[in-house]
Structure 1
Amino acid sequence: MDSHGPVELKELKLGDHVAFLYKNEAEHRAVIEPFIRDGLEKGQKVVYVAETHDSKAILDSLRRNEFDITSYLDSGQLVVEGPGEIYVRDGVFDPHRTIELVKEEVERAVAEGYTGLRATGEMSWVLREPPGCERLIEYEARLCEFCEDAQCLALCQYDQRHFGSDLLLDVLQTHRAVILGTELCHNFYYFPLAALTGHSPPAARYDIWIANLLRFNRLLKGGSEDQVQLPRSEETKTIAKIAGGMANDLSTLLLAIVGHAEILLSKAPLEDPWRFDVQGILKASREATTLVNQLLAFGRKQMPRAAAMNLNAVVTNIQSRLVSTVSKGIEVVTVLEPTLELIRADFHQMEEVVMNLAGNACDSMPEQGKLTIATENVTLTEKHCETMPDARPGNFVRLLVGDTGVGMEEETRKRIFDPFFTTKEGAKGLGLSAVYGIVKQHDGWVDARSELGQGSVFSVYIPVLSAESEFEMRVVSPSDRLPGKGECILVVEDEHAARGWITHLLRGSGYETVEASSADEALEIFSAEKKRIKLVLTDVALPGRGGVQLIRELLSINPDLRVVLSSGYAEERFAWQDVLKKEIPFIEKPYTRVELLRKIKETLSTLQESKGQS
């Protein structure tokens, strides 16, 4: 909620927790009377907790404004109580007990057929300093948290003539919205309960204040609250976490499906009729892998395999594929900067970004139109950044994907990056979410501009690779150069199908294998076979102690042991390295047979190098 002139109480809704700070009786009447009236007209039960004000005078004022207050009092929709009935029962204030009483009032209101509870209380009872009053701010913080998920709107009244500024500062920190006099304001100084009571409150407060400062600064420079808010709300973050977990499990299953299908295909003669069926399995599995990667990208759990690259190469690589898939009535135009700067990025993820944006653009032009894909070098100043919430000054490569389609209304534009949101029948709603996640992982941002009937323009900004940046050039070896020499590998994987494919592949490639389905079983095997086992390949998500703890214990037994960790959560590998105090070879699921054999070969080669040096 932004600041207003005369207070617009109709903007308040169930779930809000508002501090009302007033300086005189005129301001009090200007807010409280319409607050009560609006709640009654919306079918809410209204509870007024009076302390210093004469409740009869407030009700009489409502009657003078030709409002039939008597019928609401008689029906019980409007209730006026004293502080002793809510805040200070038995002469003692207890935050937990008071929250429970509010909860009971909400449940009672809903049971009686009202749409919710609208409660307002005069907080002047605190000035009498009853036992427990020192816990007022704890109560306000917990009430804010309670209201967020309840059918309750709470307005807490504070007379600035009687409360000190030190207490009012704390009050500000515990309310999402504030009415100052007669102005309703979004509260940039609000802190969630966890930030006030967590492990490191100063650090949490600092982070929130810095974020709010940036938002407020952009609002002052002409932005809107809608522009400033990120599309990843708390609800969206929860969905991202669930999606990432699902994707990790699916990655393990796809590992086995793709792996076995590849083996079957490599052994089937060209004339074998079964080849068509196996190829169908592979095609479907790879499409499923793409979907998994979108889930991981949205949840930002997919680690980019970054290297120095020219974004023009991505556009050129997919251009023929794109032209063959779009409708005949759509003209595809590319405008590529010939001296485009290098960026550090994952080539395949950048392909996914372009394809998703282009596909989204084509969907908005069902019959005909023009799709434009362009690249350019841009230097952004502070002034340029004023109209883009995530922007920062510096040198960037800009990818532009524009269309002449139907465009988007404002409500749709606000939600385009939300997971599973789509306006297209049969679509999954993950394409633009994946774009958002991928670009964020590359330290960039997406700027979307659109008007209904005027088409859309999506601009992706990726930082230019600086001259002093280091990047790795990797030489790819064909699979026929990756056979083992009889080395014994311990495979630790709790998913039976994936473990079976891995051991089958390794044995067929010249390695010996032993297998375990848990960390405990792996430790038992290693204790008996530690002289023979040269490398351990383990999943991170194992039942019990987990793969990271397993590696730690194995390295304490044999510091020279070679290990490879595997997971669908590539982004978390740096945390694992911090735990293990060393860099551990890692392979991301789902991987191909060649990728696994290459990783095994590379890791074992470091063992030979260390022996040669000793």
Structure 2
Amino acid sequence: MKDNNIKILAIDDAEENLEELAAAVQEALPGALFYSASGGEAGLELARAKDPDVILLDIMMPRVDGFETCRRLKAEERLRDIPVIFMTSAKPDGAICREAFESGGDAFLTKPLEICELAVQARAMMKIRAASLKQRAENARLQEMVDQRTHELGLQLTALRQSEEQLRQAQKLEIAGALAGGIAHDFNNMLSAILTYSDLLIKALPEGDTRRADAREIHNTGLRGAALTRQLLAFSRKQVLQPKVLDIGAVIGGMRGMLATLLGESIRLTVVARGGAALVKADQGYLEQVIMNLCVNARDAMPRGGKLTLEASVLRMDTEYRHRHGTLLPGAYVMLAVTDNGCGMSPAVQARIFEPFFTTKPRDKGTGLGLPTVDGIVRQSGGSIVVYSEEGRGSVFKVFFPLAADKAAAALTPPARQYAAARGTVLVVDDDVQVKSLASRTLTEDGLTVVEASSAEEALRICELRKEPIDLLLTDMVLPGMTGIELSDRLKPLFPGLRVIYMSGYTDQTVLENGMLAPEKFFLQKPFTLDLLTQKTREALSRPPR
């Protein structure tokens, strides 16, 4: 370091001494920056402000002497590496030397100062400080590497201990999810055809015709197939969610009558709310399914009756919590707890409860999809489930959702509204011929003008050449080469005010991130019935263009 870069701080209570020191420093270290303070406390403040390279410190000072000043300097992380040279008028004896070095001093200079000695000492201290800082930085780097590697090894060991237990379930979920995603699109299209054709048959056959009951049985079978498909998609986390901010307490309140009927008179239902509004961002229909599935599971664990408690509370996790089925990171959460005093579960059963198709119930009493469905919905909604159970004492399912910051939307679902027939032109886009044909037939019979396309590219070609307006786009989300959302974004500039209804039987990351669709958008879950398609279309056309 060159002399004109050196910063020297002198601390002495005698003004004449500081003047002499200033002159001596300029002679010994030409170009050096010199700062002075007339007491220990002022010196500490100046050291914090100027970050000097060397401090010249008088021992004998009033109020705060040199030893105490040095101790305070060395106590501060940012100042402790600055070399301190004590100045004394007499040759220091053993006691002074001992106290000086115990307080953190590095060297002595005897007054009056010798210019040559001052220069040598200052430069020596500078070299010592540079080496000390370099060594400290290297030690910190090495310690950081050691700490990081130790932390990584700890995480790896924890993960290895958990992986054996989770591997089988993860593999089953992956296989089942891939299977569900692979077949759901085509399967739901076939179910849509079954439901719609059976609807057409029911409407075409007169009351009293025996074939009408057959058609209704076909329709009901299609509905059961649709429910099974939704369960498959739920546990594989491929269903489309339309989340909004909800108060779980209000959702439970809206379900209380239905839950009481579901549980029966032999089970006493208690609802508890703690910690303020339990706000979560979730799809209300699927949140209600989570609550209902957990309550049904609890009911089945209490065949002779018992007590079921639903608790919604707000809490904070201060540290990371790893459990059998996942990890909860620090943060604010809403906890939905479902507690029963039923038969409980063994550890072996607890390890498998979220496996698809695993059930302890008789074959005709359960599919083994109830709890996997709950797990899939909760995970897709950003939550996690912790399970506690003891044989003969009961079970607690604690569902943790991240606490939402926004205001809650209305939790109660309004009664289904019947919309009057509308007029307009609808563009139907679906690569499945049956779904496209049935949708077009249904909408035409409802008085609408229908334009068909089998792909996004075909729809774009039709619209670019078309002079008449398109009022509504009814499109599948999963199309060859382009998603339904991308298609609607391309068409809206051509037809300002275009309304859009998205159809889907499943989704993946290429269509929607985490399967989330904004709640204000119109969505039609495949498979759908003729009446649902008609009402959803009328509803969309009844809204003013945006």
TM-score by length of 2: 0.58
What are the equivalent positions in structure 2 for 1:33-52 lying under 5 Å apart?
none
Aligned to 2:361, what secondary structure does the other structure show? Answer: coil
Cross-structure match for 1:225:
162
- 1:169-228 per-residue CA deviation (whole Å, 9 max, x = no partner) reads xxxxxxxxxxxxxxxxxxx99xxxxxxxxxxxxxxxxxxx98x86575799xxxx63798
Cross-structure match for 2:441:
504
Residue 304 of structure 1 pairs with residue 241 of structure 2:
yes
Residue 370 of structure 1 pairs with residue 306 of structure 2:
yes
Rg larger for: 2
Counterpart contact for 1:268–1:274, Cα < 8 Å: yes
Counterpart contact for 2:247–2:411, Cα < 8 Å: no
**How far did residue 466 of structure 1 move?**
1.4
- 1:143-187 per-residue CA deviation (whole Å, 9 max, x = no partner) reads xxxxxxxxxxxxxxxxxxxxxxxxxxxxxxxxxxxxxxxxxxxxx
What are the equivalent positions in structure 2 for 1:409-420 lying under 5 Å apart?
409-420=346-357
**How far did residue 446 of structure 1 move?**
0.8
What are the equivalent positions in structure 2 for 1:528-607 lying under 5 Å apart?
529=466, 531=468, 533-542=470-479, 545=481, 547-548=483-484, 551=487, 555=491, 558=494, 560=496, 562=498, 564-570=501-507, 572=509, 575=512, 587-591=524-528, 596-597=533-534, 600=537
Cross-structure match for 1:484:
422
Distance 1:564 1:358 in 2: 34
What are the equivalent positions in structure 2 for 1:221-370 lying under 5 Å apart?
225=162, 229=166, 233-262=170-199, 279-326=216-263, 330-337=266-273, 340-365=277-302, 367-370=303-306
**How far did residue 251 of structure 1 move?**
2.3
Cross-structure match for 1:11:
none
Q: Given the alignment, which residue of 426, 439, 457 partners 2:396?
A: 457
**How far did residue 266 of structure 1 move?**
6.7
**How far did residue 456 of structure 1 move?**
1.8
**How far did residue 512 of structure 1 move?**
0.7
- 1:226-268 per-residue CA deviation (whole Å, 9 max, x = no partner) reads 7984875244223212113333333223333334455666787
**How far did residue 435 of structure 1 move?**
0.3
- 1:537-588 per-residue CA deviation (whole Å, 9 max, x = no partner) reads 232444x5455598389649947594544222345476599xxxxx996544
Cross-structure match for 1:64:
none
**How far did residue 299 of structure 1 move?**
1.4
Tell me: CA distance 1:598–1:474, structure 2 relative to 1, closer, same or farther (3 Å).
farther
Counterpart contact for 2:319–2:329, Cα < 8 Å: no
Cross-structure match for 1:440:
379
**How far did residue 353 of structure 1 move?**
1.0
What are the equivalent positions in structure 2 for 1:6-21 lying under 5 Å apart?
none
Counterpart contact for 2:278–2:313, Cα < 8 Å: yes
**How far did residue 437 of structure 1 move?**
0.9
Aligned to 2:328, what secondary structure does the other structure show? Answer: coil
Q: Given the alignment, which residue of 402, 405, 420 partners 1:466?
A: 405
**How far did residue 439 of structure 1 move?**
0.9
Counterpart contact for 1:231–1:415, Cα < 8 Å: no
Residue identity opposite 2:434 in structure 1: A
Q: Given the alignment, which residue of 339, 359, 362 partners 1:402?
A: 339
What are the equivalent positions in structure 2 for 1:17-32 lying under 5 Å apart?
none
Tell me: CA distance 1:449–1:515, structure 2 relative to 1, closer, same or farther (3 Å).
same
Cross-structure match for 1:425:
362
Cross-structure match for 2:139:
none
Aligned to 1:336, what secondary structure does the other structure show? Answer: strand
**How far did residue 303 of structure 1 move?**
2.5
Tell me: CA distance 1:248–1:532, structure 2 relative to 1, closer, same or farther (3 Å).
same
Tell me: CA distance 1:549–1:321, structure 2 relative to 1, closer, same or farther (3 Å).
closer
Tell me: CA distance 1:537–1:375, structure 2 relative to 1, closer, same or farther (3 Å).
same
Q: Percent identity?
A: 31
Distance 1:270 1:457 in 2: 50
Aligned to 2:240, what secondary structure does the other structure show? Answer: coil
- 1:473-519 per-residue CA deviation (whole Å, 9 max, x = no partner) reads 998883333x332x322322233332233112211332111324445
Q: How many residues align?
A: 388
Counterpart contact for 2:478–2:511, Cα < 8 Å: no
Counterpart contact for 2:280–2:404, Cα < 8 Å: yes
Counterpart contact for 2:239–2:505, Cα < 8 Å: yes
Counterpart contact for 2:172–2:356, Cα < 8 Å: no
Residue identity opposite 1:349 in structure 2: Y
Aligned to 1:466, what secondary structure does the other structure show? Answer: coil
Aligned to 2:229, what secondary structure does the other structure show? Answer: helix
Tell me: CA distance 1:262–1:226, structure 2 relative to 1, closer, same or farther (3 Å).
same
Aligned to 1:498, what secondary structure does the other structure show? Answer: helix
Structure 1: give runs of 5+ residues left out of the alignment. Answer: 1-187, 190-208, 578-582
Cross-structure match for 2:328:
391
Aligned to 2:233, what secondary structure does the other structure show? Answer: helix
Counterpart contact for 2:315–2:335, Cα < 8 Å: no
Tell me: CA distance 1:280–1:325, structure 2 relative to 1, closer, same or farther (3 Å).
farther
Distance 2:405 2:249 in 1: 18
- 1:350-386 per-residue CA deviation (whole Å, 9 max, x = no partner) reads 2211221122223333x41424131131313335836
**How far did residue 593 of structure 1 move?**
5.2
